[in-house]
Amino acid sequence: MTTITEQDREYMREAIRMANDSVRRGGGPFGAVIVKDGRVIARSANSVTLDNDPTAHAEVNTIRAACRAMGTFDLTGAVIYTSCEPCPMCLGAIYWARISRIYYANTRTDAREIGFADDFIYEEFERPLTERTLPIIPMLRDEAMQTFRLWQDKDDKNEY
């Protein structure tokens, strides 16, 4: 069991403040803070409607800002505090960024109750590709494999 410290609570309160400020500015009710080595690296809020960008969730915006600030795509050792349980896209981004821990306040059930439901995405993930709502059609794999071979043979690649 992880012990939640008063400092953790303060970081979460900052994420909640970001969410509140976002609502006041016309954005979505979500905020996030990324901390590493006891220092806030980045903070941001949801700006989907403000930026006309469906990927501009608080967690993604904060990951982008943290990576820019740190000059790396690898946030190993960092912790994210998010005002709501991450959606599938944000959770994927958190894993890709290698963030070491997630703290969240509101649950995805709480989000669903105010109109932010992502259950359909979780349900889609469970279905075979051929049964998903959004058609997913493979094509030109043999041609595309050439790019993978180029990557595989590259000596100076920056692996991630």
Write out the catalytic residue numbers.
Answer: 59
Would you say 81 and 36 are in contact if contact means Cβ atoms under 8 Å apart?
Answer: no
Identify the CA nearest to 70 among candidates 42, 96, 90.
42
Buried b (16+ CB within 10 A) or exposed e, 89-108: ebeebbeebebeebbbbbeb
Spatial separation of the C-alpha atoms in residues 12 and 14, rounded to whole Å: 5
**Residue 31 in 3-state DSSP?**
strand
Helix axes 88-97, 119-126, angle to 10 degrees: 70
Q: What is the DSSP string of 84-97?
A: EPPPHHHHHHHHHH
